[in-house]
Structure 1
């Protein structure tokens, strides 16, 4: 379990403290960033979306046992993730947008990155779910000396540096619905374009509208979308891993 030192127990913690914990430990957990009242509609939207994907009525998912895209559309071995929660055709799109573009998330991101909202780039918003059979990603399967198991609760937000040694084992006996999102920063390494666009977001982002959101949130989301589209100009495609 995460130690108190690697967790913050109030969303109003300073950006300086967030950055210090992330730099020291490689991750930081913001406990109860979302209230129970805010979490409930997220949970209901997640459940409906997972049911849709398992029934074959949502075409974007991660299939077992493959770790990286592209994934096949063969669900016979089960799924372990649902892709493209901000897609124009996603029935629960508005709820996922509010979790992704709302002040709770964006304030934490800008505090960690020390940037303005106008520098953020739209990237990924996906969900990892209970697999249909026990499954571990190809890398970092074994227990590591001194490892820390970070226990997350509904309403928590976790940020981590994906360059740290980390692992995850998906247990088919325990329900799981965790939202996973990334936001980019303008002017970063161009290799990031491949890492993001390999997931297919570039195929539909231009058609994504945000008129269902409050004006300020919609303006933020549209600006992030435009910066994503600019990032994708001249990108030659391809995948970052051949697995």
Structure 2
């Protein structure tokens, strides 16, 4: 009989909507990825990389016009980044992080699919994201929201932030991933004038360099970007191949299928993860899935 899969992180996400691992990276790893990230940020701010998240827009598609005032860089595994991407192959696909994902999804690592690896950075001017769930639009009625919450497989995927610098940007409402919004939450997610206001019970997920948080992407959350504080946080996700169809829109909307065939993984784990995503992309080839959110 195979050994049972640990479930500590799975259980914490089930209960609270997130799980926090302090000091996931060693000091030496932090230094390595800081150096790699600084090079990539400079490359992107100079206008050399089009896959960036421009300040002032929250969800894809992001504008094609270039501005150095960006809050994120997408496609860290993209082959067109060449050697700039190489350090992130090992970060995204290694036994330590895949063991955590296996715990969360409750599957063997052979059932984990590659999804996304991006970077969240400080913009050049302050910027705040609205309260939102990643895959459920705020305008839905309570009955529609309840149906979507029931139909979404909570462990179809695993989404994370891995901090390389001090990071106090992510704000969440614990436990909100598995219930309807309260009247206050509904008002502050629907009313465009109130989407950045304090919500009762919210907490700031404070990360130190090397800390890792995985969270359910339908927890009520937002982010507050202070342009004066350097932020380098790796932001990505993994999929459970059993539930690939439910993940397709949220992942393929980022254009990963366009460059995936050219990705040449630098380790065996990434090669296996890639093939799972290739299979999903092939299943939806030619299908316009649209975007999970607007704004």
Unaligned stretches of 5+ in structure 2? 132-194
Shift in Å at residue 181 of structure 1?
1.0
CA 1:75–1:138: 2 relative to 1, 3 Å: farther
Normalised by the length of structure 1, the TM-score is 0.87
Instruction: Output aligned runs, 1:62-73, within 5 Å.
Output: 62-73=53-64
* Equivalenced residues, count: 224
- Residue 280 (structure 2) pairs with residue 241 (structure 1): no
- Residue 210 (structure 2) pairs with residue 155 (structure 1): yes
Shift in Å at residue 166 of structure 1?
1.2
Give the secondary structure class of the aligned counterpart of 1:194: helix
Superposition misfits of 4+ residues, deviation over 3 angstroms: none
**Which of the residues 261, 273, 279 maps onto 1:206?**
261
Equivalent in the alignment of 1:230: 279
Name the CA distance, whole Å, in 2 between partners of 1:50 and 1:18.
31
Name the CA distance, whole Å, in 2 between partners of 1:225 and 1:18.
24
Name the CA distance, whole Å, in 1 between partners of 2:15 and 2:242.
25
Equivalent in the alignment of 2:118: 126
Name the CA distance, whole Å, in 2 between partners of 1:16 and 1:191.
23
More off after superposition, 226-235 vs 138-147: 138-147
Q: Is the 8 A contact 2:248 2:280 kept in 1?
A: yes
Shift in Å at residue 110 of structure 1?
0.7
Unaligned stretches of 5+ in structure 1? 1-13
Question: Alpha carbon RMSD of aligned pairs, Å?
Answer: 1.6
What's the CA shift string for 1:159-202, capped at 9, x where partnerless?
A: 01111111211111111010001000112152411110110111
Normalised by the length of structure 2, the TM-score is 0.72
Q: Is the 8 A contact 1:121 1:225 kept in 2?
A: yes
Ranked by relative contact order (alpha carbons within 8 Å, sequence separation 6 or more), the top structure is 2
- Residue 75 (structure 2) pairs with residue 20 (structure 1): no
